[in-house]
Structure 1
Amino acid sequence: MTFFSPSYCPNSESRHLQTALQFPDVFKPRQEESHKGTFGTLAVIGGTSGMSGAVVLAATAAMYTGCGKTWAAFNQPQLPFAVIPERPEVMLATAETLIRRNDIDAYVVGCGLGLDTQTEHLLSALLTAARGKPLLLDADALTLLAKPSAIRQQAAEHGKLILTPHPSEAARLLGISTEAVQSGREHAVQTISHTFNAVTVLKGSRSLVAAPEQPLYTNTSGNAGLATAGSGDVLSGIIGSLLAQGIPLLQAAQAGVWLHGAAADLLRDNGIGEAGMLAGEIAPAARWLRNRLIHSSI
């Protein structure tokens, strides 16, 4: 089934993400009287059997980016481990347990989530549980969203939605080929944004960020070192962390994409080459960079 609408006319205005000065809410000093509740609670939900690492990467990235509290929720009947090694700060739960909590400020859903029928029901329930709160859908959640089902309408009506597809996921959302997406990336990302009333990040070299009735932004940070397993999970964790901290949707997506790429540039320029850069190395670099930029703004 094709969802792509050639008749949709996207916003032709285009800008670039190229400096931290574009994200004033992200790079401002913290108040001395702050506490962990000040910086929000994020739920990262995914990690079906064999894919636990995706949730670990995203949740860890959220903590490194300044989230007050982070839950890693696994789409498994039992927790795969009692604590994340070397990251006991991250709280653990099964997805079915966490969905009943009412103290979550923002959600990241999809990292290694799975694609079976039961998971489709879980995604529908999560869309209901997250109503009125910022929600980022990535990876397997996007594949489920591409199916002609009620989930598409649920997502389109959410109102505080961020989608982060890579080209093949964008192609499934639009019902066209990956080659068609890549040959018309600007039209594709803006059409997805329009269709789902969502801020949309089309990942890849020079990632694009679109939002309804807003100019299109092209990211200028990043390098080929980001072409590694788990890099997208880290990006989702960074953006989700900013959402939980109260950063508005569009600025959270833009700043997250830029910071993710700038952290990779920092690694490349300081002795870690593009070949063999690990996703788990990106978040600590993003923490260092964010704090340095905050300090420089004081």
Structure 2
Amino acid sequence: MSEPNGRGGRPRGADAPGGVRTLERGLSVLWALATLREAPLSQVARAAGLSASTAYRLLETLRQQGFVEWEEASGLFRVGLRAYQVGAAFDAAHALTAAAAPEMRALVAELGESANLAVLRPHGAGLEAAYVHQVEGPQLVRMFTQTGASAPLHASGVGKVLLAARPEAEARRALEATTLTAYTSHTLTTVDAALAAVARVRGEGFALDDQERELGVRCVAVPVPGADGQVAAALSVSAPTSRLTPEQVPRFLAAAQAAASRIAVRLGHRDA
């Protein structure tokens, strides 16, 4: 890529400098470009409030990473594919919660207990389950979960459901990269024990968190298929053990599975 101001050649300083200030400027350039749709260097720099040389260095770094594209014939910059992929991930997350919210409200109305939706996301060298939506039940009992919080893979129904959707080798790596904290005397604290529980989830199609994260709390979790048939999320219902007794598990499981199927249909999964 030659310098778009017409002088030709590759400018010095094309490598991205470090620091938070540089990141802030880079994001301001990307946002300016998103607003402009496509524009020459001078216009992008003006919109971002930067000098042309600084804007160019940032644009070139963004171009190298695929967040910006540059057309040599016209000299115009535009948002690149990787920026689109970030936006698509945002859209997918919102599509998931939009599809799940009404069915989760119906589930809570049916059972009178709190429902949670979680997805798998990268965390350090491994993975973690993260709650992306919650509908609280009418009972005046505050559970340990909240939207945005993470759930331990080894000590949560949603964590085991999400791991069960991955190949066994990947599930093992994720557990080996995780600190298997003993939250209660019921918590599985070895990789082999957790993998055995994940294998049971694969076979049975649901997970039970039986006071593994918090004493006195039981949880039933089921997978939610996406449009492609792959597991897009895990749906769970949590309640005190006094209300979610072993005898009540089949009723809670059936209700959760029905809700998961309805969410899958909303996501475009035809076989749900």
Higher relative strand content: 2
TM-score (ref. length: structure 2): 0.30
Structure number with larger C-alpha Rg: 2
- Normalised by the size of structure 1, how large is the TM-score? 0.28
